[in-house]
Structures are given as C-alpha cells and as structure tokens.
Amino acid sequence: MPFNLSLYLVTDAALCDGYGLEQTVEAAVRGGVTIVQLRDKYASDEQMTAQAKRLKALLAGSGVPLIINDRLQVALESQADGLHVGQSDAAIEEARQVLGEQAIIGLSINTFAQLQAAPIALLDYVGIGPVFATGSKQDHAQPIGFGGLASLVKACPLPSVAIGGLKAEHAISVHRAGANGIAVISAICGQHDPFKAARAFQATAPL
Ligand code: TZP
Ligand code: MG
C-alpha cells in the first residue's frame, strides 16, 4: 500500500476517552490524517487485534494505512498494513520476514548512532524524535529540538516523520527541517474536536 506520512496519527485510547477511539480516527481522517498507528501499551494482544480489525474496517477504501505499534503478532493477525517498532522492540528482520515485502515498516530513532545502526534496506520510514518533551510517552528519550531533527533528517536516506510534543503551529518548522510529515498523539487524540484538530495542520503547513 502506498503511504503518505504528511499527518500521522498515533492513537492513545485513554486520551480519546469520551469521544471514542474509532470516532476519533474517523473524524481525524476526514480532517486530513494520512496514516494511522494503533498504539496501546496496556491492551492484551487479543484486545489489540480486535481493535485493529475495527480500525482496518473503518479505514477500508480510504487509502489511509493502518500501522500497529510494537506487536508483530497483532499486525499479522489483523492484516494491518504495517508495523512500527521502537529501539527496544521486535526485531525488524523478523518483522519483514513475517509481514512480507508489501508491509510498511517503521523504526523510531533519536540519535545518529541509532540511525547508523538501523537496517535501512528493511525499513520504509523512520520516526524521529521526540522533538519536544511530551507527557504522551513514558520515559521518552532526550528531546532533540528542530535542530536535531533537521540534522537527522539530512543524514537519513528514508522518508521520515517527526514526533514528540508537536502541535499544528509546529508543522511549518517540521517541514523546514525536511521531514516528510508530522506525527501526533495529543494534538488530535486529546482534542474536543479531532476533525478540526486535524484540519488545523493542513492550514498551517504545506506538508
Ligand atoms: N514517541 C516519541 S514521542 C511520542 C512517541 C510515541 C509521543 C508523542 O505524543 P504527543 O502527544 O504528540 O507529544
Ligand atoms: Mg515501542
């Protein structure tokens, strides 16, 4: 599936409280989200697979891929479009082997050493961050700012998406740093109106 990193929504079911995860994703996609990652640190594999299947059905025909955070088995069983792994997560070699050539596989990076160590040929994109400190990820790595983002993007041969503490007002700086897109949790998931929250990004940057 072709993918567009422009506005990358990472979900947090707890933040979607009140509005609901599916309603949030549906509204955010109408508002311009181009790719969705299901991320849930607390659900069981079974719960997450069921959630992924619901999101997959919701996104069918939209051209918006569904990526699963961390859990290879969930990605496989839900027939999601790809997998996103962090530095301490599942082996990328295994993920590529199990999910196949067509799968979209992304890796989080925070430093040059991590970029240098990344198996570039097995990856489709990298997530670079956190740009800023954020309450949305426990024990996140040292924030890199837009300067750090720009240096890593420049050194990176793959499409990249910036993440961490980013809001609509930052989209222009992310674009200037050379990233292909902006990834957010709370700027959309935690918002009263996820449709408008997503739309705000379109208004602020030519991503
Ligand atoms: N990885 C690095 S920062 C982050 C993740 C998953 C959380 C981003 O959340 P927010 O609310 O957009 O800062
Ligand atoms: Mg992870």
Report the pLDDT value the prediction gives residue 207, as an integer from 0 to 100.
Answer: 52
141 CA: nearest ligand 1 atom:
2
CB 205 within 8 A of CB 162: no
Residue 73 CA to residue 94 CA, distance in Å, equals: 11
Report the pLDDT value the prediction gives residue 202, as an integer from 0 to 100.
Answer: 84
Residue 103 CA to residue 52 CA, distance in Å, equals: 15
Report the pLDDT value the prediction gives residue 164, as an integer from 0 to 100.
Answer: 98
Residue 34 CA to residue 28 CA, distance in Å, equals: 9
Scanning the chain, the segments in alpha helix (DSSP H) are 21-30, 45-59, 72-77, 92-99, 112-117, 145-155, 171-176, 186-189, 194-204
ipTM field = 0.96
Pocket lining: 185 vs ligand 1, CB cutoff 6 Å: yes
Residue ranges with CB less than 5 Å from ion ligand 2 = 70, 86, 89
Residue 109 CA to residue 50 CA, distance in Å, equals: 29
Average pLDDT per 10 consecutive residues for the chain, totaling 207 residues: 95 88 97 97 97 98 97 98 90 96 98 97 98 94 97 98 97 96 96 95 69
Per the annotation, the verdict on 39 as an active-site residue is yes
Q: Which of 71, 137, 160, 173 is catalytic?
A: 137
Per the annotation, the verdict on 53 as an active-site residue is no
Give me the domains of the chain, ranges plus CATH numbers: 7-196 (3.20.20.70)
